[in-house]
Amino acid sequence: MRFFLFTLGCKVNQYEIQVIREDWERLGHRCMSEPEWAEVVLVHSCAVTQKALVDLRKAVAALHRAAPGAPIVISGCAAQTHALELSRLNGVTRVLGLAHRGALRAGPDLLLTDPDEAAGPSPRPMVLEGVRNFGRARAQVKIQDGCSHGCTYCIVPLARGTHQSRAPQSVVEEVGRLLAAGFRELSLIGINLRLYGRDLEPRMDLWDLIRLLERIFITQWAGRVRFRLSSLDPAMLNAKALDTLAASRMLCPHLHLSLQSGSNEVLRRMGRGHCAPENIASFCAELTWTWPLFALGVDLLTGFPGEGDVHFQETLACCSVLPLSYAHVFPYSPRPGTPAAGWPDQVPEGLRRKRAAALRALVRKKKAEFVGRLVKLPKLRMVVEGLDPVRGKCEYYVDCQVQPGEREVSPRELLSVRPQKVVSGKIMSEFTKISS
């Protein structure tokens, strides 16, 4: 069958849609570049914010207009949390929640018959695995799914179920395939990496997995390949983390933290009292002995129920102290079925947005300072993501661009470049010695 895939949301969703594509193509089905050529459309959805649902409804409407004769199947987080609402959208014939995620791998032909016949019910989230390629220059490796923590604002446990880890040998095999396919940057991704390995025997954690990957791949690939970590829980920043980062020869000098707030009281109400923001600053100070310069990004929510001016000022103070290079800032979005959605002390939406704007303004200044430090370095290492112009991300997760016409390059290639100046937040560079 001819199929079209559309995905919304996080890197985990991007990974999963690639798994589905490869599975379906191995079964003989063909992926179309435009929806109007497809016999079936699969939309892999997100539900983390209200905006994600708005975007989903718009996408389904546009896809139905483009391919009115193609049945639309919706999978992903919103399929679990908003199944009835989504089933009523024009063009939608099936909505597959957690119980039928296994059906996604059986092919579009069986998907249109009966998902129970395709794979049978699956009560736990399935760690979709097995990619060999990516349409992107920087590949991702999913090592974990689900979450059992239960933050009071978060719909993810309802959408994806309890945590489930991928066997380390399976991760090793996939990393090897992707390196052989020519990828030179791999991101380790999951829904909650703090929970990785708790359900494995013997039990392990993310830092154990990183050490395993380096032991296996460092001899052949050190200096030619890099690993990048996706979002971490601040509670993971312990002595073991510091030792692992200090010893690493393959990790990008880049951390991204699910901070959410710089106020201990707000974090407690969020169900994240284990994430003491003051500990992050101490960890970063220690890390500078090993990584004198590193990128630090955070996720932040503004206007959580009960967040007063004093709490927001604590968040501003926290972000002022941290060596941030960027941040993802979102006004709080009440999610149906979560405890915080029903609390009486909701912050007005306008104030949520005002506080988000203030945080973004602070982060813009810190990002400019960080990029200003990068442009003074003798070289950066960039993975080529585009050719017109030659551009990509450096190890510090900042966009770089190389002057055209100097030599031929290929996507996925890892280059050494010499930074020259900053233009609109991008580091304009020139070629130096090739790194791979």
What is the pLDDT, as a whole number, of residue 290? Answer: 94
Concatenating the DSSP letter of every residue in 86-103 gives HHTSTTEEEE--GGGGGG
Whether the predicted pLDDT of 201 surpasses 80: yes
Query: pLDDT per residue over 7-31, tens digit each?
Result: 999 999 999 999 999 999 999 999 9
**Does the pLDDT of residue 435 top 60, yes or no?**
no
User: Looking at residue 433, what is its pLDDT?
Assistant: 58
| Mean pLDDT over the full length of the chain | 92
Better-predicted residue by pLDDT, 162 or 116:
162
Tokens representing 434?
């090739």
Tell me if 75 sits within 8 A of 42, measured CB to CB.
yes
Q: Are strands 144-145 and 164-165 parallel, antiparallel or unpaired?
A: antiparallel
How does residue 248 score in pLDDT terms, banded at 50, 70 and 90? very high
pLDDT band at 372 (very low <50, low <70, confident <90, very high): very high
Query: In Å, what is the CA distance from 121 to each residue of 80, 93, 107?
Result: 14, 19, 16
Lowest mean pLDDT among 42-46, 108-112, 366-370: 108-112
What is the percentage of the chain residues whose pLDDT exceeds 90?
Answer: 83
pLDDT digits (tens, 9 = 90+) for 115-147: 554 545 454 444 556 788 888 899 999 999 999
Q: Which amino acid is at 129?
A: E
Domains of the chain: 2-119 (3.40.50.12160), 139-373 (3.80.30.20), 380-434 (2.40.50)
State the pLDDT at residue 406: 64
Please choose, from the candidates 257, 256, 247, the residue with its C-alpha nearest in 3D space to the C-alpha of residue 222.
Answer: 247
- pLDDT given at position 256: 98
Exposure b/e, 77-112, CB count within 10 A at least 16 = b: bbbbbbeeebeebebbebbbbbbbbbbbbbbbbebb
- On the question of pLDDT at 102 being above 80, the answer is no
Question: How many angstroms separate the most distant Cα atoms in the chain?
Answer: 61
